[in-house]
Amino acid sequence: MSGRELTLLTEGRVGLLGRIPAGSNATFLAELTCGDDSAWAVYKPETGERPLADFNPGLYRRERAAYLLSEALGWGIVPPTVVRADAPLGVGSLQWFIEGDLREHYFTLHANSPETHHALAQIALFDYVANNADRKSGHVLRGTDGHVWGIDHGLCFSAVFKLRTVIWDFAGDPIPDARLADIGPLATAVPDEVAALLDGAEVAALQRRVRRIMLEGVLPTDHTGMRYPWPLV
């Protein structure tokens, strides 16, 4: 996270610009202002979360945990994300807004932009490690600088295996040694900042997933054909 992003996300005044439609939970476009500087962010307050039977309230913590995990791996998949208690609708996550072509998403990138495949396969591995239950195509963005991002990680890190994703085109592909080296330490120790946002069973499950995929050495395969989110985009 750059100094500017950190300052705006952690210290900037948060003003609501409007609600972002189509999500299950209340999500808002916010303007962050600090002095003469400003930027946009995506705000997800706990008060806007729809109750779920399989996830406890506080999905915003999982948004933050996904960012911290991505940073610990050095992968830069998740946009900078913080937790703010002083936001207009109460405690929630604030994530740096990614500017890009909203017509692009996973399906279009995979079909039309082979130069992104390396990054897309990396997101597939990240989603397995984080146990992402909701990787829709629209949750993959390409920024104006060409960087590929993954967003919307509120349904991650369950202790029960819940992987649901549209990224199955790389199933069974060997995982590069460098990526295995990145995730290997998680098999024995999850970063404290990540673990503090999860419960003990979730941390232990993350470690088991890493140990399993380290042994297999390939990206996961869906043998059931059922591990897709809905809607797909």
Determine the Cα–Cα distance for residues 8 and 79; give it in Å rounded to an integer: 14
Q: pLDDT by residue (tens digit) across 5-51?
A: 999 999 999 999 999 987 789 999 999 999 999 999 999 999 999 99
pLDDT digits (tens, 9 = 90+) for 185-217: 999 999 999 999 999 999 999 999 999 999 999
Burial track 26-65 (b if 16+ CB lie within 10 A, e otherwise): bbbebbbeeeeeebebbbbbbebbeeeeebeebbbbbbbb
DSSP at 174: B
Give the C-alpha separation, 232 to 215, whole Å.
30
Tell me if 42 is assigned to some domain: yes
What's the rounded Cα separation, in Å, for the pair 151 and 67? 9
Range of the domain at 143: 3-216
The CATH number of the domain where 36 resides is what? 1.10.510
Number of structural domains (the chain) is 1
pLDDT value of position 49: 96
Residue 100 lies in a domain: yes
Domain assignment present for residue 122? The answer is yes
Checking phi first, is residue 62 left (phi over 0); if not, alpha (psi -120 to 50) or beta? alpha
Residue 186 lies in a domain: yes
